[in-house]
Structure 1
Amino acid sequence: MYAEREGFISTGDSSSRSNQTGFRWASGEADFDFFVEYSDRRSVTAEAYGDIFGLVLLAHSHLPTISVEIKKAYGVTMGKNAARFRKIMLGFPGFDGGTEDILKRFH
């Protein structure tokens, strides 16, 4: 698998029959878990851990931007640097606030 050659380890089904797989960096504590789905349209989801826990990055092959979302679940506490990291990411071209940006348009 290409991911393993580049220093990642598999975290999901990557068989030839499956159209999805998961992976993370092999060294040290993982900052992100990546989930890739490849069917007609490709998508990548990256869930953050550690001090940036609570961020989710979403990329779809048919869209020009990467969404930087906040994982909202009951009882979830964001990592201490999650909000700062999100703000930095949103300052780069090609990143957007995803669902939050869409909802702001209606208010």
Structure 2
Amino acid sequence: MADFIKNIENTLDVRFTLRSIAWLAQKKLSGLAAIRKDVEKWDTSALKPSFAFMQLILLERWDEAISILKDSRDRGELWVTSAIKMPPVRYVEEATERVAFALSS
């Protein structure tokens, strides 16, 4: 049963990550306005903090995203170590710079 639950969790992680990559691509092609409504409707309240972080990065709500990042780092959450490699961060220069600075302070 534990393996089954873990597989579901991994599948959802992949689906949500792919969703954020699709939004990132659409944002690159058409701008933030093209994805804003859909990304804002994404309810991340019951998900891992990394998804709320990705949502805020996509919406360019930098201060809120960095706050989640720092809070998660302070709790020792492992996803923080790979935050710089997440597609919404990795492929947006401003996001990369902000996350790198936050992780270094």
Structure number, greater radius of gyration: 1
Q: When the two structures are superposed, what TM-score results if normalisation uses the length of structure 1?
A: 0.30
Higher strand proportion (structure 1 or 2): 1
Q: When the two structures are superposed, what TM-score results if normalisation uses the length of structure 2?
A: 0.30
